[in-house]
Chains A and B, each alone.
Chain A
Amino acid sequence: MHSLAFDVAHMLAGLLVLVSFMMLYQDRLNSLITVLALHASVLGVSVAWQAWSQGEPHLYITAVLAIGFKAIVIPMALRRIIVQLGIHREIEAVGGIGLTMLAGIFLVALSLQVVLPVTTGADPVAREDIALALSVVLLGLLMMVTRRNAVSQVVGFMSLENGIVFAATGARGMPLVVEISVAFSILIAFIVVGIFLFRIRERFDTVDIQALDRFRGERR
């Protein structure tokens, strides 16, 4: 029995996996961040749909967080970092893009193959959500493995987190504690990353006399 709620949830889940694939073949940082924003937006819509169809209004908070924070605030901040650091706009991927895409397809097949047989008892929405969420998690990992640039690693990590939030909201009635905490942990994690990125700039990008002066100043 496939209701409309099921079909829409399914479509959004598929869309999330599709956007994860789109991330894999981006070769410029700016477009990668745009796709990250798209990823978070799809997540937000999907969470909102779950909130409506499960009748759990508190999930709207997660949806708003996903769209407001992860789709708007973070991409803006990442763009600023790119400009301020003046880092390469082109991303070098380990291995070719074709190979990465093939690995991605393999990972999606793997997660479907792993999850679907063991969750026959669970209700179908949750079951396929978990399978697709695992695909998103694995694609995020793949992204982190194949990119060397710090910013694109963060993007990979965020898409991985998106997959996990998606799984958490797909599991009916999961306590709110976790959802908020996930959002918070992303916030904290991002602050940490921000600090690190700025420190990295301070230490690596200014190998000039000014840096030496400052060093001596500290010692005085």
Chain B
Amino acid sequence: MIFGFEPVLLVPLLAAGMLALVANYRISARLNMLASLIAFLAALRMLWFRPTTGAYLFVDDLNIVFIVLGTFVGFTTSAFSASYINHELTTGKLTPVYLRFYHAMYQLMMFGMNLALMANNIGLMWVALELATLTTVLMVGIYRTPAAIEAAWKYFILGSVGIALALFGTILVYMAARTVLGEGVDAMVWTALVAAAPRFDPSLLNLAFVFLLIGYGTKIGLAPLHAWLPDAHAEGPTPISAVLSGLLLNVALYALLRFKILLAANPGALAPGPLMIGLGLLSVIFAAFMLYRRRDIKRLFAYSSIEHMGIMVFAFGMAGPLGNFAGLLQMTMHSLTKSAIFFTVGHIAQVKGSQRLADIGGLTTTHPLLGWGLVAGVAAIAGLPPFGIFMSEFLVLSSTFARSPILALLLGLGLLVAFGALLHRLNGIAFGAPRGPVGPVEASTIPLFVHLALVLIAGFYLPPPVVAWFEHVARMLG
């Protein structure tokens, strides 16, 4: 079918090329938004007009969820970025030349992520994820302060090692497939792999999965491998923190899920569940306690991302229709909420001229819109009732409790500790006497409130087609 995959991939790629040439930053910010919007609409279109599966690209019920969510957050973040960069230019933190580079990299990253999500070839998926990583590395370091360079270097080294190990795992999967599917391209095509997976050598698959879990797990930010994540979130421009948390972590999670399906299809292979549950639980508990000791507002929410990725990996590790459903819902809600939080945090840090928690206080009185937006966002991310995350966390907990009460207790402990830490910090930021500069800020709050409204609506009412879709995908994940 014509216009199948192409718009979602070609629009960001062409836009990246164009943005590299446009010198006027106002035009390029608009162009960035326009390209992201077109990519989002093209992704929506794929819901109804499913392109035919090829040897390199495909769209199925699982990845379309990630693509639509990703392009949507990509679009709203580009709108936030347009108002954010204005301020960065006037304060001289970024120069127009860097901004040109920034916009081109933004679209290149969107291209990489969409390609990784739509790849039907496990080699291609790896390449695309590597591309997305490299572009974000460059954007993290864009402020060129010693801290930003240090963060980008750390991200680059840890990300590269992770992704190198993932490639090793990919090669092992190919070796397992080769004896069944024969040599050549076929043995790397995912749809062919999953059909033939029951006949693969289980021990090779096991070894491959360990590498893939460590490799892609580094990109997800799972606990012992998370060291790059807080630095990368804190030192880069805030729109990049929003897409890192809202998109890139999801893409890595998606890659891991693909291989989990492969493993689950093979009866002799080890169950991927316990490994994922263990790493997920470790991330939740570790991040929950780390939340207490944070002094930087962006680092605070970066650790909260580690916690939430841990919950998702835990839920997908528990598997079963309910666990997978909860994991998918958690992922969607977290992407929307966390990017909304970073939208407010970006403007707050601009007003205060600092990211230190000690410099920020009493926001609800000085900046009601931003302050209450942040209150709503943090309430949502901490898992308070009217919001969607409450529902997904409740689902994870209750489905776990039915099968393994001890795991549910441990997870519940992590959630409660994180909840306490977040509310404690929120109290200092949003209420009390104002601290730091209180000047006005030129902020676009539309993306923020669109996200929060979606999360709020999802907490009250999930449309039946969405529920049916998620249930279907949950069954697919096994």
Contacts and interface: CB of A to CB of B under 8 A. Distances in A.
Contacts of B185: 175, 177
A177 B92 contact: no
Residue from B152, B157, B164 whose CB has the most chain A CB atoms within 10 Å = B164
B168 A137 contact: yes
Contact of A126 (B126, B175, B203): B175
B22 interface: no
A91 interface: no
Contacts, number: 118
Contacts of A157: 157, 160-161, 164
Interface string B157-172: 1001100110110111
A153 B157 contact: yes
Nearest to A141: B161
A171 B179 CA distance: 11
Given A115-B207, A144-B161, A153-B157, A175 B184 contact: yes
B134 A189 contact: yes
Contact of A171 (B121, B127, B174): B174
Contact of A173 (B184, B203, B206): B184
Contacts of A173: 178, 182-184, 187
A181 B171 contact: no
A134 B95 CA distance: 45
Interface stretch (B137-145, B282-290, B318-326, B386-394): B137-145
Contacts of A164: 164, 167-168, 171
Contacts of A193: 156
A130 B175 contact: yes
Contacts of B179: 121-122
A72 to B, nearest CB: 22
B113 interface: no
Contacts of A141: 161
B204 A203 contact: no
A203 B146 contact: yes
A4 interface: no
Interface residues of A, number: 45
A30 B151 CA distance: 27
Interface in A113-148: 114-115, 117-119, 121-122, 126, 130, 133-134, 137, 141, 144
Contacts of A202: 144
Nearest to A121: B201
Contact of A150 (B130, B153, B175): B153
Contact of B146 (A174, A188, A204): A204
A160 interface: yes
Contacts of A160: 161, 164
Nearest to A176: B185
Contact of B168 (A126, A144, A167, A175): A167
Contact of A219 (B92, B127, B149): B92
Contacts of A115: 207
Contacts of B178: 171-173
A181 B141 contact: no
Contacts of B146: 203-204
Contacts of B144: 199, 202-203
Interface string A82-125: 00000000000000000000000000000000110111011000
Contact of A203 (B123, B149, B170, B182): B149
Interface of A: 114-115, 117-119, 121-122, 126, 130, 133-134, 137, 141, 144, 150, 153, 157, 160-161, 164, 167-168, 171-175, 177-178, 181-182, 185, 188-189, 192-193, 195-196, 199-200, 202-204, 218-219
17 contacts: A121-B204, A126-B175, A137-B168, A150-B153, A157-B157, A157-B161, A160-B164, A164-B171, A171-B171, A173-B178, A174-B183, A178-B126, A181-B126, A195-B138, A196-B153, A200-B149, A200-B153
Task: Please list the 8 inter-chain residue pairs (A to B) with the smallest Cβ-Cβ separation, ordered nearest first.
Answer: A173-B183, A118-B203, A178-B123, A181-B127, A175-B185, A121-B201, A167-B171, A171-B175
Given A121-B201, A199-B149, 20 more contacts: A117-B203, A119-B203, A122-B204, A137-B164, A137-B168, A144-B157, A167-B171, A171-B174, A173-B183, A174-B171, A174-B183, A174-B188, A175-B185, A177-B121, A177-B185, A178-B170, A181-B126, A182-B167, A188-B134, A200-B149
